[in-house]
Structure 1
Amino acid sequence: EDGAWDIVSASPIPYFPDRSQTPREMTRADMDEVVADYVRATERAVVAGFDLLEIHMAHGYLLASFISPLTNERDDEYGGELAARMRFPLEVFDACRSVWPDRLPMAARVSAVDWAPGGMMPEDTVEVARLLAAHDCDVVDVSSGQTVPHQRPRYGRLFQTPFADRIRHEVDIATMSVGNISSWMDVNTIVAAGRADLCLIARAHLFDPYWTRHAAYMLDHPLPWPDQYKSVERYTPRFEFHFGGE
């Protein structure tokens, strides 16, 4: 740890007890500094012309460390019951919301379940979503896990969609579904069934950077190409796409 950056968290709990640097428990002064940093980042996002702002409260990162009881052992007003553990993340959200244009949506990403004993459960995250909705959050991006190394997630196709589905219907807030969504048929099924309002595609886009264009082509809604790619409009694929269905 010699020469390492000073790191902070809700509580002084290292990720890997045998080899990770131990963070320092955040003070009120630390919190004020972090809130100011988030506000500056939000103001830059406005200037840059972004249409959506998302506050990351998942995967064991700083704000998530306050939310999960596995990473928050504080005995002050920022620890204990869920409402208290949400206090600082909501302070950050409110501060960003105050400088983000009212006409533009603002989201929060959450870990619906920690996949570890004593951690966040789906019913807890429903309450997190209720709190976010009460603070003018427009959409909840529902992921899971990555809070502690001893997690035991149940991976599978669309494995996190049920969490987005539950929050959407119990809290009446828009949700994003993410996690092992690979085909446009998956996306259409999730949205058409009302399980989520948006789907996020990550690894599928890494595998195929033109995933969205190929999906649109398969659905007979080809997207316009930039001028540099205009010749593609005269190209007829001589193979079939099978990543999105028959």
Structure 2
Amino acid sequence: MSILFSPIQLRGLKLPNRIMVAPMCQYSAVDGEANDWHFTHINSLALSGAAMFCIEATAVEATGRITPGCLGLWNDATEAALKPILASARKRSKTAIAMQLAHAGRKASSHRPWDGGQLIPIAEGGWLPDGPSAVPHKEGEAPPLALDTQGLARIRDAFAAAAKRAERLGLDALEVHCAHGYLLHQFLSPISNRRTDDYGGSLQNRMRFPLETFEAVRAAFPDRKPVGLRVSATDWIEGGWDLPQTIEFAKELKKRGVDWIDVSSGGVSPLQKIPLGPGYQVPLAQAVKDATGLTTIAVGLITEAKQAEDIVASGKADMVALARGMLYDPRWGWHAAAELGGEVDAPPQYWRSQPSTQKALFGATTFGTR
């Protein structure tokens, strides 16, 4: 029996397998509003065979977008734009739909990756980003605005307000983005956080704002629905955020009811040195799981079905999340099920796509026509 295709319970949400489509920025929104690109992207990957699809990093305020093209959920217009897309996905797919709530912090006001990805000056249509401290992400860039008490409260409230909008949209779960060098990660890392108040300095102080933000989201979202968190387990830089600190952070999140930790790494500085390779972040997920007992999700260069099966079957992580692998193969879950002897849900219009040499991948009898 395939462990990858066995069920898992996340609070009140029961998933039929251990695969998640990872949140992937599309940089294709207009004023934060989803459009026909998101309709195609979400509806397509909702049929991937994964038990859960996580909508891309979604900014909780306009200035929290990474790029002018980033998705948002901060007003009625951004909420309304997602409504018909989600209704369509619900009509055709049983996949649980989550959303990653995010704020880019000092990495905001950037060009799209295919346009170079560099900071957009205010004179060229950019905006002044916020950060824990007035320390730029990259040497030579203008520093962000160091958040004051009012700014912290504004952003914390924006996360909570977005969580309430997500509930109105009927989303099944939320993930708080605390990784990849964005705002909440910036507070954790001593590389980006140089504050001398209650939100900087010691580990306890650097964790304070991310924990407060998680608590705000958890309180704003229904108790029966799960809320997870994505963390960068290491900055890959000497003197930066690292795995032992991540474990302490995870223990604090556990006290606050976190339902999973999605373990990634890096992103806080261009000076990082990442040892890329298949499943290179899996040991980080395993370390968090072993130290805390929390449900963990492994992500990063997971591309093969047997690789994913080994990760969950050996207890290195409880779930896997795929991003690029899903873009390259939007039916990755189907193919993994066929290889591992699992079963996935698919619309009846597609049942006849299964090769005759395979077992009942869709759990349905082949039908004919008169």
Match of 2:118 in 1: none
1:136-155 to 2 correspondences below 5 Å: 136-155=257-276
Match of 1:16 in 2: 138
Work out the CA distance in 2 between the residues paired with 1:81 and 1:64.
Answer: 15
Q: What displacement does 1:229 show?
A: 2.5
Tell whether 2:277 aligns with 1:156.
yes
Q: Is the 8 A contact 2:326 2:332 kept in 1?
A: yes
Q: What displacement does 1:52 show?
A: 1.6
Unaligned runs of 5+ in 1: 239-246
Match of 1:231 in 2: 352
Match of 1:242 in 2: none
Q: Deviations over 1:181-204 (max 9, x none)?
A: 111111111111111111101111
Work out the CA distance in 2 between the residues paired with 1:131 and 1:224.
Answer: 36
Q: What displacement does 1:2 show?
A: 3.6
Q: Is the 8 A contact 1:38 1:92 kept in 2?
A: yes
Q: Over aligned residue pairs, what C-alpha RMSD do you find? A: 1.6
Identity score, percent? 38
TM-score (norm 2): 0.61
Report how many aligned residue pairs link the two structures.
236
Q: Is the 8 A contact 2:161 2:220 kept in 1?
A: no
Aligned AA for 1:107? G
Tell whether 2:346 aligns with 1:214.
no
Work out the CA distance in 2 between the residues paired with 1:54 and 1:2.
Answer: 31
User: What SS does the corresponding residue of 1:76 show, helix, strand or coil?
Assistant: coil
TM-score (norm 1): 0.91
Choose between structure 1 and 2 for higher RCO, CA contacts under 8 A separated by at least 6 residues: 2
1:54-133 to 2 correspondences below 5 Å: 54-133=175-254
Residue 170 of structure 1, aligned match among 291, 305, 316? 291
Work out the CA distance in 2 between the residues paired with 1:77 and 1:230.
Answer: 57
Q: What displacement does 1:222 show?
A: 4.3
Work out the CA distance in 2 between the residues paired with 1:134 and 1:223.
Answer: 34
Work out the CA distance in 2 between the residues paired with 1:37 and 1:175.
Answer: 26
Q: Is the 8 A contact 1:217 1:223 kept in 2?
A: no
Match of 1:244 in 2: none
Q: What displacement does 1:217 show?
A: 1.9
